[in-house]
Structure 1
């Protein structure tokens, strides 16, 4: 379980830490911490328990409407502001001496939406968080993405972290072209995060998207997997469940075992961040979750 992480979002919660963390885990992914005391508690726990810190941008909650950096925006001022925000965060993290193993950003931002799909049920905090394919060309997408990859590569050398891009909603610019894979090979310092729940949710709402082929294609480039499950049926969606073997795909759950089989084949050393709500299950079930995932990721041959 040396590759496992838990999350601390919004605050450093000592009760959640005591319940969810296990000795030997890789560490904690932190995001949107409210106070200086939360950050100090995270840093102190990392020292006391000898774990690593991953950061899900932004580390600190600044009370802004859009938490993500819109580094692909077609508005030059908005794009410059996104890079400025990241730069300020990197400087702040350095001053705090958190020494993160990785820093994660949602990508693409803005999200490029497939014009053929009804996105009315996909959550966005603000209209600036997305653009439609008809308004955002593939050529501009290529250009802005390579600018991002080059900039993140440069910053990773200066600040000593792994830049990670977590897939948000995707369109065919990512899953029907080869350009992103070529960039990942050209700029190997930049890695990915694949979110099992987010990918499955898009598959259920976007008839043109399939999560299994995407997982097989991009798992080798992942630094971390955000692991959680959801049940999608007519009229309801259950979100952020810890993964358990009794959650069957034929009952509307994501095919977690198949995802993990692909991950074991393609990237056996990838980190696993349990981005679930552990309060939805008992302590016994939480332990079963950890053990089941560990067993699925172990090569028994």
Structure 2
């Protein structure tokens, strides 16, 4: 279980830590902490329990409308602001002596949307958070992605962390071309995060997207998997549910067992961050979730 993490978002929740964390887990992924006390509690717990910290950018909640860095923006001023925000956070993290194992950023940002898909039910914080594929060329995507990879590689060497890009909604530039794989092979310190719930949700809303194919294509480049399930049906979506073996795709659940089978084949040492709402299940079912995932990845 040294590959497993739990999340702490918004605050360092001592009750969640005591209920969800296990002493043989890899660590905690933190995001949007609101106070200095939360930062100190995270650092102190990491030292006392000898676990690693992963950071989901931004670590500190600065009250911004868009929390993500828009490093692929068509607007050069927005791109400069994005890199500045990341740099400021890297400096603060260094001052806090959190020594994160990885720092994760949503990618691509802005999201590049397939014009053929109805995105009205996809969550966006602000109109600046997305651009349509018809307005954003493949060459722009390739150039700005390589600029990002080059910059993050330098920062990772300077500050000593693994840069991780978590896929947001994706278009054919990512799932139908080989350019991102080429860049991942060129800039080998850059790694990915695959979010099981988000990938499945896009498959249910985007007829051109196949989540299993995407997992097969990119699992080998993953540093961490954000693992949670959702049940999708007519008129409802059950979100952020802990994964359990009885959740059948025939009943609208994501094919978690198939994802885990591919991940075990392609990347057996990848980290698993349980990005679920543990309060939705009993203590017994939470333990069953941990045990099932461990068995799926090792048996």
TM range, smaller chain: over 0.9
Partner of 1:249: 249
Q: Deviations over 1:8-27 (max 9, x none)?
A: 00000000000000011000
Give the 5 Å matches for 1:162-181: 162-181=162-181
Please state how far the C-alpha of 1:35 moved relative to its aligned partner.
0.2
The runs of 5 or more residues in structure 2 that have no matched partner are: none
In 1: Cα distance, 2:27 partner to 2:288 partner: 19
Give the 5 Å matches for 1:1-301: 1-298=1-298, 300=299
Aligned residues: 299
In 2: Cα distance, 1:128 partner to 1:289 partner: 37
Q: Deviations over 1:48-95 (max 9, x none)?
A: 000000000000000000000000001000000000000000000000
In 1: Cα distance, 2:266 partner to 2:17 partner: 30
In 2: Cα distance, 1:61 partner to 1:98 partner: 17
In 2: Cα distance, 1:235 partner to 1:246 partner: 22
In the TM superposition, structure 1's runs of 4+ consecutive aligned residues that sit over 4 Å from their partners are none
Please state how far the C-alpha of 1:254 moved relative to its aligned partner.
0.2
In 1: Cα distance, 2:221 partner to 2:81 partner: 28
In 2: Cα distance, 1:157 partner to 1:23 partner: 30
Please state how far the C-alpha of 1:175 moved relative to its aligned partner.
0.4
In 1: Cα distance, 2:30 partner to 2:191 partner: 18
In 2: Cα distance, 1:2 partner to 1:97 partner: 22
In 2: Cα distance, 1:209 partner to 1:249 partner: 17
In 2: Cα distance, 1:284 partner to 1:36 partner: 34
In 2: Cα distance, 1:40 partner to 1:55 partner: 14
In 2: Cα distance, 1:240 partner to 1:181 partner: 29
In 1: Cα distance, 2:35 partner to 2:24 partner: 27
SS at match of 1:219: helix
User: Normalising to structure 2: TM-score of the pair?
Assistant: 1.00
In 2: Cα distance, 1:134 partner to 1:214 partner: 22
Please state how far the C-alpha of 1:256 moved relative to its aligned partner.
0.3
